[in-house]
Structure 1
Amino acid sequence: MFHASSHIETCPIRLIVRQQPVKARLCSFKEKVDRRPVDPPPVVQLECQRQEMLHDPNLFLYATLVDTRGDDIHFTNQATPSTAGAVVQSLHKLRDTENKEGGYFIFDDISVRQEGHFRFKFSLFRIVESHVFYLCSILSDTFQVYSPKTFPGMSESTDLTKWFSDQGVRVRIRRNSNTAKRRRTTAQDMMSMQNLLLPPIQKNGCHQPVD
C-alpha cells in the first residue's frame, strides 16, 4: 500500500528528465525475446538539498506508460502489459557531462508493446520499514513507437549515455552506422594494400623476390 510522504520528507525534492525518450520499435508480446528498448534510454535526475538522499538505497523510480494527455495505459488491446523490461530503477550517484555530481535513474531496458504516441510517467517512491511512500512524479515528452516496417532505426548513443557508461553503468552503447561502415572499409582497404605490397608466393610456400 502506498502512503503520502509529507510526514517523512521535509526537504523539497524534484525530478528532472535529463534525457527524453524519442522513439522505439514495437516490442513483441514474448517476455524474454525481441526486446526493443526505447531510444535513447530515458534518464531522470533527482534534485534535493540533502546530499545524503543521493545515497539512499530505499529510493526507487517506477515508469508507467501513459497517453499524450497523461492517462495510464496499463494493458494493450491483447490484455498484456503495455511495457516490458525493467520498469523500476534504483538511484545512481554519477557525474554528468559538465562533471556535476547528481542522482540519476537510468531506464536502459524498457520496451513498449503498443504502436503510437506515448509518454512515460516516472513516479518516485521510498521504502520505510514495511511501508512504501510516494514522493513525487514527472511526465516525459511524447515519443513514438513504430511498427517494424516503419521504424527508422536506432540512433548513435548520446554523450550522456556514453558518459554514464564510462562511469560503470551497464547501458548499451551504439556507434554511428556510417562511422562503423567507414572503419570496416578502411580496414579492408588496408588489407588490400598489404596484399598488393606482398610479393607473390611460390609453390614451395616462399615469397618470390621482387625485382
Structure 2
Amino acid sequence: MPHGFDKLLHHEPESSPSPPPRQKSTQSRYHLHVRQQPLAARACGAGDRDRRPVDPPPIVQILLLDFDSESQDDRDILQDPRFTVGCLLFPVSGSSAPSNPQDDQEPERDSEREKDGVARADDDLSTPLLSGKAFMSPFYVDADPDPNSAPTHPSSEYPQSPSLTSGPSNLRNASKLHQPATFFIFADLSIRSAGTYRLQFRLMNWGSVEDTGQSMPILAEAWSDPFRVYPAKDFPGMQDSSILAEGLKELGFVELKTRGKGKGKGRKRY
C-alpha cells in the first residue's frame, strides 16, 4: 500500500459518532461519479474462499471540471496511473441515511461497531465486514463503451447546479461521443454480514506525496446509494451484466465476471 493511504482510510477511533474531519481538496477540478451502483449482495463467510461479490460491481468514474477532449493536458490527467480510489463501507441505520451520494451528511454509524473507519461484524470486532480489493487503480479507455449512459463532465458555465447533465441536451449528447473515460472498477468486494450499507469512494493521487513530500489530500468523494446484503437463503440472485461492464471487459478489464442476457441467477427483484 502506498505511503499515507492507511491514514486516509483508517482513522483513529472516535469517542463520539461524529464523522472524522475531511481534508479539503486542493484540486477542485476533480469529481467522482458512481457510474454503476451496487444493488445487492449475498453475505459471505469469514474465510477468503467464500467470496460473494457485490452485484453489480460498483464502477466509479473520474470527471474533470471544464474537460476538453481536444486538450492533450486533460487527456494526460485522465491517464495518470498514480490515481487511486479507496472504498469504505458504512452501515445504514433505518431510513435516516441521505439519499443523495453527494450530500455532505454521512450514514449514521455505531461507534461500537466501527473501528479505524472500517465497519466490523457484531460478533467479532476484529473482523472487518468488507473484504476484497478496496483500492483500485485507474482503467483508461479512449472511448466510453456505453456513451448512452455516460455523464458529461461538469461545466463552470452552469454553476447553479452540480448536475452532471447541465447544459443544452444537444451539447451533452455530442460531447459524449468518442469521449475518453477513466474508471475505477470494484469487481472484488464482499460483505460478511447481512444489512443495509453504503460505500464511500475517495479519490487520491499518491504522486502528490512523491512530488511535494506533504500529506496526501482527498481530491474528491462520492457515495453509493444504499443497498442490501442478504442472508444466503434470501438472496434474490445475480443480475445480467450491464452494457458498460460488458464493454469494459472487452476492452481489457479481465477481472470483471460478466453474465449475458438471461444468464443471471435467480431473477427475483431486489
TM-score, structure 1 normalization: 0.76
Whole-Å separation in 2 of the counterparts to 1:133 and 1:179: 40
Percent identity of equivalent pairs: 31
Structure 2: unaligned runs, 5 residues or longer: 9-21, 68-73, 98-106, 148-177, 266-270
Match of 1:138 in 2: 222
Contact 1:13-1:47 at 8 Å conserved across structures: yes
Structure 1: unaligned runs, 5 residues or longer: 181-211
Match of 2:249 in 1: 165
Task: Supply the AA of the counterpart residue of 1:53.
Answer: I
Find out whether 1:113 has 2:192 as its counterpart. Answer: yes
Candidates 89, 92, 96, aligned match of 2:136: 89
How large is the RMSD of aligned CA atoms in angstroms?
2.2
Shift of 1:106: 0.5
Shift of 1:175: 3.0
Task: Supply the AA of the counterpart residue of 2:29.
Answer: P
CA deviation vs aligned residue, 1:2-28 (integer Å, no higher than 9, x gap): 594655x3x511111110000000011
Match of 2:38 in 1: 21
Match of 1:187 in 2: none
Moved over 4 A (4+): 1-7, 176-180
Task: Supply the AA of the counterpart residue of 2:242.
Answer: T
Q: Equivalent residue of 1:149, what SS?
A: helix
Contact 1:96-1:102 at 8 Å conserved across structures: no
Q: 1:135 to 1:177 in 2, by over 3 A?
A: same
Match of 2:51 in 1: 35
Structure with greater contact order relative to length (CA < 8 Å, sep ≥ 6): 2
Whole-Å separation in 2 of the counterparts to 1:121 and 1:18: 14
Whole-Å separation in 2 of the counterparts to 1:179 and 1:23: 13
Find out whether 1:156 has 2:240 as its counterpart. Answer: yes
Structure with higher Rg: it is: 1
Match of 1:207 in 2: none
Shift of 1:110: 0.4
Candidates 89, 92, 98, aligned match of 1:65: 89
Shift of 1:96: 2.8
Task: Supply the AA of the counterpart residue of 1:42.
Answer: P
Shift of 1:108: 0.5
Contact 2:238-2:264 at 8 Å conserved across structures: no
Match of 1:174 in 2: 259
Q: Equivalent residue of 2:77, what SS?
A: helix
Whole-Å separation in 2 of the counterparts to 1:96 and 1:174: 17
Q: How many corresponding residue pairs?
A: 177
TM-score, structure 2 normalization: 0.60
